[in-house]
Structure 1
């Protein structure tokens, strides 16, 4: 029984020694096998857009054993860098303990590569099936570029002096003060009026100029600070710059005016057919189309007249015909409508028309008597003037005769 116990104790001791020796052997093997990757150079050191460059990698043995089953692979590439060589390099075994292996990758940046740092990720694997080693590396490639700088270089408006109600053509000259091409340039004008707020002008070369065109209706007077946002793309990607311009809109100056009013007959009476003629003048500097005049009178007859188109400094008649079925003094609202680039616009004014009571003859008699009185007064005045002249002539003649008689005595 004691012999059996002693044999069992001996087996237990041998088993402990074997299990304890396994990790010791593996640790020695792990410490002796070592391989590292070193970035030797990036040539050229400054990489621009659409340019070729190389990345040199050196695999160095840093242990006492000759490494085997070596695999070096590029596992992640930025989208704007192209690698020409194979991404995976396999080396079965180094020749001797101090061996090195050089790898050189030819690469190229894309024409639209974004300037700045770009990270290329790599993986190194080596060792046999019992002990497999994996190391990860990163290589930084900096792509250089230039900035574009599109800015407002001049502002012009047509008309030069803007009045409330004017249709305005606004031109912004955009000049590129940067060293890179400004591509896909869009100018946004947040003017708050009815009209065009965005203008696409494409690409602007360094020191080049392009004009952003806008049109709007200045429907409010005052001084306005208007934000101008310029969106574009340069070597560093999509950019956005904001500026401000100042525009002054003067008090309303209507380009359509009521130049004259004519009523036929001049003093219409009840039951007369009245012809009201209003001449509409275009005092602006633009042609105005589809002009209509609406007179909201209380009589039976036409209320609207169509003029059509008026060029600058041109006028046209709007004729309204109605039957005067009531007497009195009437203030008639008149609305002038027209169409411009932004839709229908209106100008409102008023005209006065007097309708007389129907004449019963007394009016004519009074007018005749007044005319006779005026004529009689003129005749009497003329008579007095003529008599006065005759008396003076007579006195002069009598005075002349008395002088002659005195001289004879």
Structure 2
């Protein structure tokens, strides 16, 4: 069955070559010169990339006269087919009127030959100086190839559960499910975050795997369908495939938090040297480096404090010292900066500080509020929860009692 199929193919190729021949002068009678070219065989019939093959051509006399001054030449060759023989064959004359002449061309496809049909064009010229006859032929060579099929086989993120503000390591495992080598593989990730969006992984053999590495800052929460574009080359040239992966970023405030604020003295007055202590807590699961706290207060003194590094669940003090040279209630902007893999990040917040006039006799209510805030702030920071009777405290303070209210623990 296979041999019959090959025979049919050779017959069709021969018929194609004969039918595509265009002769400038046709034979008008049995006494005219007539010469034709016929494809004898293409061996092997299936030609792959970087493979050798041969094409056999037979020149047959189809008239009653002996043809003279015969020239058979290949006039056009695809760039990915190499022919080792001379492209021009000259035959002075046939010996007999029924003679035949066989030509065999050894050819080879290049390693980067593009699969598909390739046309080789030929020209046959014969006849005397007075009457020249020319015919043109085409031979079709089919170059076979295989497709590569690189696809995403796994998606791994570190951390596994991503929160807004996290720096994410994303590994995409790319596996080649095709039959050809996937060459020059580049994976592009259109995630929309700040970070790495392209990874070059080279070549992937059939059934082989390679990992594309990405890193980005997940600064927004939500569920994202992220396009993944894979550029590569296979036997059929440059290819581009597009897939999608789903990434969920959970909503969470920054892992750096202002845990507590302490003012020393508790009730600062004008001309006092004030020590403002802000404890910064790392509530995340990654170590944060180069932490600085900047308090933009209007007084004379220090405005910046360097904490350095905080491990997960660790806190550290930022101490700002200044001279309270004016009285009033001040809302002080505080900027916490730190450095991660993508540069400097910052968190903005505010703290309130009240400066009393020197011997100014401030209202008792203000003093009470400040005392309560100081007490409650200290208790919250030390993880104690205390119940007090606000009415009893106010009554005792108004009466000038020095005995504290009785504590009740939950």
TM bin (shorter chain): 0.7 to 0.9
TM-score by length of 1: 0.80
Secondary structure of 1:32's match?
A: coil
- 1:31 Cα deviation from its structure 2 partner: 6.5
Counting only pairs closer than 5 Å after superposition, residues 291-310 of structure 1 correspond to structure 2 as: 291-310=291-310
Q: Closer, same or farther in 2 for the Cα pair 1:346/1:169, shift >3 Å?
A: same
Secondary structure of the corresponding residue to residue 65 of structure 2: coil
Equivalents in 2 of 1:116, 1:352: separation in Å? 77
Instruction: Kindly report which structure 2 residues correspond to 1:270-281, keeping only aligned pairs within 5 A, or say none.
Output: 270-281=270-281
Aligned to 1:342: 342
Question: Could you tell me how far apart the structure 1 residues matched to 2:258 and 2:321 are?
Answer: 18
Q: Distance in 1 between matches of 2:155 and 2:397?
A: 71
Deviation at 1:306? 2.3
Cα RMSD (Å): 2.8
Unpaired runs of 5+ residues, structure 1, are 1-25, 379-409
- The 5 A counterparts of 1:143-182 are 143-182=143-182
Alignment of 1:162-241 (within 5 A): 162-241=162-241
Give the alignment of 1:8-407 within 5 angstroms.
32-359=32-359, 373-374=401-402
CA positional deviation for 1:113: 1.3
**Secondary structure of 1:86's partner?**
coil
Cα 1:31–1:235 change in 2 (3 A) is farther
- Deviation of 1:243 after TM superposition, in Å, equals 0.7
The SS at the match of 2:173 is strand
Deviation at 1:261, TM superposition (A): 2.0
**Residues 337-346 or 60-69, more deviating:** 337-346
Conservation of the 8 A alpha-carbon contact between 1:275 and 1:320: yes
375 and 48 in structure 1: CA distance in 2 versus 1, 3 angstrom threshold = closer
Deviation at 1:194, TM superposition (A): 1.5
Q: Is the 8 A contact 1:30 1:131 kept in 2?
A: no
Distance in 1 of aligned mates of 2:178 and 2:42: 29
Contact 1:331 1:351 in 2 (8 A): yes
- Compute the displacement of 1:374 (Å): 4.3
Q: Between Structure 1 and Structure 2, how many residues are aligned?
A: 352
CA distance in 2, matches of 1:73, 1:376: 116
- CA deviation vs aligned residue, 1:145-175 (integer Å, no higher than 9, x gap): 1111000111111122222222211111111
Instruction: Tell which structure's C-alpha radius of gyration is larger.
Output: 1
Deviation of 1:326 after TM superposition, in Å, equals 2.8
Alpha-carbon distance change, 347 to 31 in structure 1, aligned in 2, over 3 angstroms: farther
C-alpha distance in 2 between matches for 1:75 and 1:231: 37
More helix by share: 1
Residue 163 and residue 30 in structure 1: after superposition, are their counterparts in 2 closer, same or farther (change >3 A)?
Answer: farther
Deviations 1:72-94 (A, max 9, x none): 11111111111121111111100
TM-score between both structures, scaled by the size of structure 2: 0.79
Describe the superposition over 1:328-367 as per-residue Cα deviations: whole angstroms up to 9, x where unpaired: 3333221111222222211112222232332479999x99
Structure 1 residues 373 and 234: alpha-carbon distance in aligned structure 2, compared to 1, 3 A threshold? closer
Cα distance change of structure 1 residues 369 and 108 upon mapping to structure 2, 3 Å threshold: closer
Q: Paired residue for 1:391?
A: none
Which residue matches 1:19?
none
Shift of the 377–216 alpha-carbon distance from structure 1 to 2, 3 Å rule, reads closer
Q: Deviations over 1:273-320 (max 9, x none)?
A: 001111222333333333221112222222122223334343332211
Maintained 8 Å contact 1:280/1:317: yes
Q: Which whole-Å deviations, capped at 9, do the CAs of 1:82-125 have from their partners, x for residues lacking one?
A: 11211111111001101011111111111121111111111111
Further displaced range: 221-230 or 351-360: 351-360
